[in-house]
Amino acid sequence: MFFYVSKIAWLVATPSTFLTLLIVAGLALSLFWRRVGMTLVTLGAVGLLLLGLGPFGRIMLVPLEARFPTFADDGRRVDGIIVLGGAELPGVSAARRQPSFQESAERILAMGELARRYPEARVVFAGGSGLMRKQAAQEADVVRLALPQIGLAEERVEFEDTSRNTAENARLAKELIKPLPGENWLLVTSAFHMPRAVGCFRAVGFPVTAYPVDFRTTGDPGYFHLFGSVSEGLSFFELALREWVGLAVYYLTGRIDSLPPGPLTDQPAGGSPSR
């Protein structure tokens, strides 16, 4: 139920959709109540321009991306690598019969690079589908198609292919992996998504080491730097807003235990908690 409620709520709350509906509603109301209608039209249009051209998306993304440092190999043994889904385009992949990815494809590139760097480590991909409607292919199916392109044999990778969100990624990955105490597992996902992902893994009792990829900002919020187009700025803002809302909802529903999760106090930069 949580999965479907969250998806439906976001469909309506997406800023670009909400503000566009506000403009349409305002135009309709202006036929009968001109002042009320034009007020709604103005609010919607100004909102689109402010969120689309203003730096708000960057400002919200920077602290998420800075929450966990870039991974630095401290010499500890790496027992396994977990890569979260979300970069794949299953529908396009099935239609075109070749693996297709969106802008988070660095997750898959990192999987290939880490598998070669740590040849003794287990490699696990966690991801089924984050869509409400059933698709011809799952995220895991797309990754299987892409393995030859990143130089990995399919037998090297274990797949958890039924999870639909980050909380399920963590729970089902733990059930598949059955990690032993003291093992060091790298978690690969987008930098902005890392706080929620690490929080979910901690909540199910599976400590992981953050390996953030897919950075969207330089680290500079650029308070006085406008986006080049409304669509670009809205994309940044909606990405950041969705992640912050997700963090809040996960915290309130007990899926993470802090807001936002960050490195443990006894955890060195890029490493695991000291023992």
Instruction: Summarize pLDDT for 176-233 with one digit per residue, the tens.
Output: 999 999 999 999 999 999 999 999 999 999 999 999 999 999 999 999 999 999 999 9
Radius of gyration in angstroms for the set of CA atoms belonging to the chain, rounded to a whole number: 21
185 part of a folded domain: yes
User: How far, in Å, CA of 41 to CA of 103, rounded?
Assistant: 33
Does 266 score more than 90 pLDDT? no
Using DSSP's 3-state secondary structure scheme, residue 1 falls into coil
The pair of structure tokens assigned to 215 is: 């950075």
Q: Work out whether strand 157-160 and strand 122-126 pair parallel, antiparallel, or are unpaired.
A: parallel
How many domains is the chain built from? 1
76 part of a folded domain: yes
Handedness of CA 111, 117, 119, 121 (dihedral sign): negative
Alpha helices in the chain (DSSP H): 2-13, 15-29, 34-53, 56-65, 90-96, 106-117, 139-146, 166-177, 194-203, 230-252
181 part of a folded domain: yes
How confident is the model over 99-139, as pLDDT tens digits?
Answer: 999 989 999 999 999 999 999 999 999 987 755 566 667 88
How confident is the model over 2-18, as pLDDT tens digits?
Answer: 656 665 666 767 899 99
pLDDT of residue 90: 87
pLDDT of residue 195: 98
29 part of a folded domain: no
pLDDT of residue 269: 41
User: How far, in Å, CA of 81 to CA of 199, rounded?
Assistant: 17
40 part of a folded domain: no
CATH number at residue 112: 3.40.50.620
Query: What predicted TM-score, i.e. pTM, was given to this entire model?
Result: 0.87
Name the residue range of residue 211's domain. Answer: 71-215
The pair of structure tokens assigned to 222 is: 């650029």
